[in-house]
Chains A and B, each alone.
Chain A
Amino acid sequence: MKRRDGRYIFVAPAIVLLSLVTIYPAIYVFILSLRRKMLIFHISRFTGLDNYIFLLKDDRFWNALWNTVYFTAVSVSLEMLLGLGIALLLNRPFAAKGMVRAAVLVPWAIPTVVSARMWEWIFNSDFGILNYLLGMKINWLGNPSWALHAAIFADVWKTTPFVAILLMAGLQVIPRELGQAARIDGAGAWGVFRHVTLPLLKPVILVALIFRTLDAFRVFDVVYVLTGGGPANSTETLSVYAYKVLFQTLQFGYGSALSVVVFLCVGGISILYIKLLSGIRA
């Protein structure tokens, strides 16, 4: 019994810290989401699920949700495909390997706000280098059908290296002998990849997927800097919308309800992935 008690004492600091910085704010936001709270007008009263009912009828919310889902699905798919390709390339022996690996990481090392500002200039339809190279006048950030794709592009550029490095680490723990044995048994390059590398890499791929999906779903900075949510809200994601409602219009109740929805979505995605992951392990 004594030893058991001791264990709790040792984990207590961690639990207290977690409660303070994570659990308490999360619960507080949930409580706020059940209130109508507007600082300016000194309104603060319990309204139950009113905020959530309003949310269901709020076109802007559905638009933001769709933008977020689209952004997440497309950017994460591209990042995984490109990241896997780069990881496979980097995993082969070649000259100046260390240099190339370090260079690949550069986009990931640049703060998102800085890289987003850089992309804002690259995408500039008047003097941006992208249109110069293409010899066209595409209004990347000002056209509602292009803008979200431009944001996805900037995000893929930044986070593909992260995926690549993660997957490369996974590739390196796969024993080379397995591939060689498969080749002796008559498997081609594709066969080795499909039946040896990919199954062994699956857990790492899922970990990369979890990280990237959760990050992409909460995307804020790249969009906020590139377009601020425009034009015509075509790039407004849930986090950007929640930020505007919370900190620009100061509607804390409704803004908290939006945050809770982001939290629930992210939680749902996590649970799904963890189920998948434990399925693989078992």
Chain B
Amino acid sequence: MIILLCLLIFPGCSDRETSEKAHGTVLVFKHGKIAGDPGPLRRLLARFERENPGIEVSDETLPASSDAQHQFYVINLEAGSADFDVMGLDVIWVPEFARAGWLRETDRLMPQKERDDFFPGPVEAVTYRGKAWAVPWYIDAGVLYYRKDLLDRYGFKPPGTWQELVFESQYVTAMEKGLYGFVWQGKQYEGLVCNVLEFLRSNGGGVLSNGRVVIDSPANRFALGFMRDLIVKYRVTPPLVTTADEESTRHIFGNGRALFMRNWPYAWNIFTVENSQVRGRVGVAPLPAFPGGRSSPTLGGWQLGINRCSRHPEAAERFVRFMTSPSSQKYLALTIGYKPTRKSLYRDHELLARQPFIAGLYGILMNARSRPVTPYYMMMTQVLQPEFSAALTGVRKPAEALGSVARQTGHIMGIEQ
């Protein structure tokens, strides 16, 4: 830890020359490791090289964990490293990196006409102080998976409200042995914040409003208390969710042991493979809302940003434009299942024919809402995670937890004064 700290002493871009080939530009592209076959991405990069003679792309992967990548970028960007040009950015980092002055502004890459083609959520997430600082590459949002066969058997439809979800869960689990009602991600980590925000916002609540902290509200208290009630009062959610992340819930649901699951779209492909136990028995629906509220899936996904210290800004811009173009996004959607950030692709015949699943995602992605867009987010989430966890495990009452969040976030927001 201490040694890492010492790397952070010298700010400003470093002038160190890298070993560059005399005849061309080497563009370094840093991004998280892709789960599965890296082949398609490599082929896409090769196409870029063919179309742009003189530019060579060096594809350098980082660990898949978002936290590990964040740490890598922070240390290197603060030290003014010019060792990489284009980087994959988690949707929650953009305002932070922009505030720190680590990113090259990308307004030029998203002219207004094109900007309208992107989903509103990611556009909001990459915008800081009126300018764009990254281009949305692929998109994610929370969805509700349900067991189509079981709902059909009891004549239910996918729930529109959380209360309907409780009712259907209670009814079906009473009839089916060894079945959990509804599983979601309640471990103390970033995923918990995504889950809780979906409940709060679908009750008209939230964390920030016009830069003010509005977390300690009756609507939020009710929604957070409802999540605890799912476990202890309605008993449709097993207590194990307080330690569950995406994969552990995906396993439970994939083994046919839960009626409903909240997760990201990635799980769909896994449920449709040959030896999946729930193949052909799964449906996807928008997350429910509270009466009077609206479904509010949390936005995820990755953006491409350009290192402010990059020595090849023009080449980097060309590369980002290429990677986020409709044809590249379509190619990655077809090959590795990355969901495009451009709305027009959800009307693409070939894509719809080969991945009918994404037609149903369109409405969900339109409603996807980013986590608070603020450079303080990484600090804020460190407050939200333990307090939400405390409310779910009954260590604190929802009102106490939210009051504590309000005090602590208020302190964080005042840090610059």
Please list the residues of chain A having a beta carbon within 8 angstroms of any beta carbon in chain B: 21, 24-26, 28-29, 32, 38-43, 60, 124-127, 139-144, 147, 227-234, 236, 242-252, 256, 259
Asked whether, in the complex, the Cβ of B5 is within 8 Å of the Cβ of A126, the reply is: no
A233 partner, pick from B188, B251, B379, beta carbons under 8 A: B188
Q: In the complex the two chains form, what is the Cα distance from A231 to B245 in whole Å?
A: 12
Tell yes or no: B187 within 8 A of A by CB.
yes
Taking Cβ atoms with an 8 Å cutoff, the residues of B that contact A are: 1-6, 8, 67, 70-71, 74, 78, 96, 99-101, 186-189, 238-244, 248, 251-252, 257, 375, 378-379, 382, 385-386, 389-390, 392-393, 395-396, 415-416
Q: Enumerate chain B residues within 8 angstroms of A243, measured Cβ to Cβ.
A: 1
Which interface residue of A42, A126, A251, A259 has the most chain B CB atoms within 10 A?
A126
- Nearest Cβ in chain A — how far from B20, in angstroms? 29
Can you identify 24 A-B contacts, CB atoms within 8 angstroms? A25-B5, A38-B415, A39-B74, A39-B100, A125-B239, A127-B251, A140-B243, A141-B243, A142-B186, A144-B395, A230-B187, A230-B386, A231-B242, A231-B389, A231-B390, A231-B392, A231-B395, A232-B396, A245-B382, A246-B1, A247-B71, A248-B67, A248-B378, A256-B5
Among B67, B78, B242, the one with the most A-chain Cβ atoms within 10 Å of its Cβ is B242
Interface of B is mostly: helix
Least CB separation from B255: chain A residue: A127
Q: How far is the CB of B318 from chain A (nearest CB, A)?
A: 29
Cβ B242 vs Cβ A244 within 8 A:
no
Which 10 A-B residue pairs are closest in the complex by CB-CB distance? A230-B188, A142-B243, A142-B242, A232-B390, A25-B2, A141-B243, A232-B395, A233-B386, A249-B379, A125-B240
Contact A143 B6 (CB under 8 A): no
Is B382 in contact with A244, judged by CB distance below 8 angstroms? yes
Interchain CB contact (< 8 A) of B393 among A140, A231, A247, A251: A231
Pair A143/B100 contact, Cβ less than 8 Å: no
Q: CA–CA, A59 to B385, complex, Å?
A: 15
Return chain B residues, CB-CB under 8 Å to A244: 382
Contacting residues, chain B, for A247 (C-beta < 8 A)? 1, 4, 71, 74
Whole-angstrom CA separation of A230 from B415 in the bound complex = 26
Which of B4, B78, B189, B382 has the largest number of chain A CB atoms within 10 A? B382
In the complex, what distance in Å separates the CA atom of A24 from the CA atom of B9? 13
Question: Which residues of chain A are near B99, meaning CB under 8 Å?
Answer: 40-41
The smallest C-beta distance from B2 to any residue of chain A, in angstroms, reads 4
Chain B residue contacts of A251, Cβ below 8 A? 379
